[in-house]
Structure 1
Amino acid sequence: MLRKPAALITGASGEIGHGLITRLADDGSRTIITLDLRPLEPELGRLVQHEFAGSILETNLLERILSEYEVDLVFHLAALLSTRSEFTPVTAHQVNVEGTMNLLEFAQKEGESHGRPVVFLYPSSIAAYGMPDLDTKARAGRVKEDDFNTPSTMYGCNKLYCEQLGRYYARHYKQLSAEPLAGKVDFRCIRFPGLISAVTVPSGGTSDFAPEMIHAAAQGEPYA
């Protein structure tokens, strides 16, 4: 008996995860499973078949998910954000790069197992860009995808590198093997600007002051 395909959402308790879970539940074509350090709010948890509590660095946990579900769609939202990454760059590399590598390898194994590519959605960031000074920024005008890919933050470095990792898994994975293994991961990526969180209050991002101000105003509280 064929298993119903599943969507895996890492970092599901954040703002994007809230919207994704609701949308996928309305669609109903996939089982929804999540992986996060924090539990979901009860009303969201009811829409999910299984909440896995843990880290994307726990490869044994990923192996368990691999054995129990047929995942054909991954939303990899888990990350250590920009401000926290500057204070703890080694930890940021572990979570943002090694964690992403674990998820890409997970998707590769899933793709090899059930014979079709796993769609891997990766939210990158405009932190992948970097300009040497404000004068250059003022002259640059509209910036293309491949322009100024010289990030100056750990978070930006992590995101840019993981974009390249995704391209490698999609197009060049183990390219010296006797049999072609690339194409099992359908990697898709978008560089987001700062996101305004309507439901959740974010933490750890450089631009978090904006949604924090909005949330405070909505509750009639001062913001300092």
Structure 2
Amino acid sequence: MSKTILVIGGSGCVGRNVIEVLMRDHPECRVILLSRGIASVEQRQGVTWVRGDILDKDSLLDVMRKFEVTHILHAAGMRTSDCKADPVRAMEVNVAGTVNVLDSARMHGAIERLVFLSTAAVYEVPDGEEFLDEGAKTSALNAYTASKLAAEATVECYARSYGLRCNVLRPQIIYGPGREGEGSTAGVSVAIREAAAGRKYTIPFQGRTYFHYTKDVGIYVVRSLLESRGDYAVYNLPGESLDVEEIADTLNQWAGRELIDCTPVSYPFAQGLVDTKFREAYPGVVHTPLDAVLESL
């Protein structure tokens, strides 16, 4: 049976990498990209671009019905800094927008799986160095994490009350191709590009946390979308725990000179995530370590 994948938020790094994986590994799938603006992949063969907005529920339902959508990736939302600047708008976009996606999917009645991209920033950071699993305590530390937690709760509601099969994915910091310079957590991606170009750059944070390569995340999301694994689940995504100062040293060794450093600012992020649940659900997944990423450039 043919599958039609609706990618919401396809202009972001996750959406773009998901589309790359679908086009490469699943040519039998039809890919519909919904975006408020012109997306970088709209001209590619096999991708149908449609203009839409998660705050316009009628347009979402129209797209689902018109293209007979069977699977949805919801990766749209406001970033941390934008949420802090306008918390009312953050709740409107990240929470009410998610409700619109979910209810349109419910009304459409033909969705086999919906994947919601959340964040591991929802975890309350412990005092120790432990890695956090999906059962760890969460905290509405700021407008961004509050909106993501509220959206997660709504996803669970639609899964349990309306039978909409859903997965919630929690990555920490995503880096690599497709990750632009927006937001301070893009600092590692920017540092790689600057080191490759022989320019100096300061990563705007320090400390140890969990990192995921963009191309890996594309694979993880596609497997989560297309492989049936129960009615509802929350997953940490696979990755590796890295210290930012060590990342800077690695980049300097790679570049052959001192170009990259970091600021003393620390973020309230976990030092690592337990990804056993995802690996057991989707056997054979691998993650690309930073050294391998650099070797491929």
**TM-score normalized by the length of structure 1:** 0.81
SS in structure 2 opposite 1:108? helix
**Contact 1:127–1:151 at 8 Å: present in 2 too?**
no
Runs of at least 4 residues of structure 1 off by over 4 A?
none
Corresponding residue for residue 120 of structure 1? 114
Separation in 1, partners of 2:129, 2:189: 28
- Give structure 1 stretches of 5+ with no counterpart: 132-136, 173-181
| Cα distance change on mapping 1:202 and 1:58 into 2, 3 Å | farther
Q: 1:163 aligned to 2:142?
A: no
Separation in 2, partners of 1:107, 1:18: 22
Separation in 1, partners of 2:18, 2:133: 28
Q: 1:190 aligned to 2:169?
A: yes
Separation in 2, partners of 1:7, 1:95: 22
| Cα distance change on mapping 1:206 and 1:85 into 2, 3 Å | farther
Q: 1:144 aligned to 2:123?
A: no
Amino acid at match of 2:176: S
Amino acid at match of 1:128: V
SS in structure 1 opposite 2:175? coil
**Contact 1:108–1:118 at 8 Å: present in 2 too?**
no
Separation in 2, partners of 1:149, 1:58: 30
SS in structure 2 opposite 1:188? strand
Map residues 36-115 of structure 1 onto 2, 5 A cutoff.
Answer: 36-41=35-40, 45-111=43-109, 114=110
Separation in 1, partners of 2:135, 2:104: 28
Cα distance, 1:197 vs structure 2: 3.0
The one-character-per-residue Cα deviations of 1:51-91 (angstroms, maximum 9, x if unpaired) are: 11232112232132033111111011111011221111111
Separation in 1, partners of 2:54, 2:72: 13
- Give structure 2 stretches of 5+ with no counterpart: 203-297
The one-character-per-residue Cα deviations of 1:6-52 (angstroms, maximum 9, x if unpaired) are: 1000110121112211221231222110111232225x631344211
Separation in 2, partners of 1:143, 1:223: 31
**Contact 2:91–2:147 at 8 Å: present in 1 too?**
yes
Amino acid at match of 1:209: G
Aligned length: 201
Cα distance, 1:140 vs structure 2: 6.5
Map residues 6-17 of structure 1 onto 2, 5 A cutoff.
Answer: 6-17=4-15
SS in structure 1 opposite 2:166? strand
Aligned-CA RMSD value: 2.1
Cα distance, 1:202 vs structure 2: 4.1
| Cα distance change on mapping 1:54 and 1:77 into 2, 3 Å | same
**Contact 1:73–1:119 at 8 Å: present in 2 too?**
yes
| Cα distance change on mapping 1:12 and 1:63 into 2, 3 Å | same
Cα distance, 1:208 vs structure 2: 1.9
Amino acid at match of 1:96: N
SS in structure 1 opposite 2:105? helix
Amino acid at match of 2:104: F
| Cα distance change on mapping 1:105 and 1:48 into 2, 3 Å | farther
The one-character-per-residue Cα deviations of 1:179-212 (angstroms, maximum 9, x if unpaired) are: xxx21x1110121101113234141x34122212
Corresponding residue for residue 192 of structure 2? 214
SS in structure 1 opposite 2:151? helix
Cα distance, 1:99 vs structure 2: 0.9
Amino acid at match of 1:60: D
| Cα distance change on mapping 1:92 and 1:47 into 2, 3 Å | farther
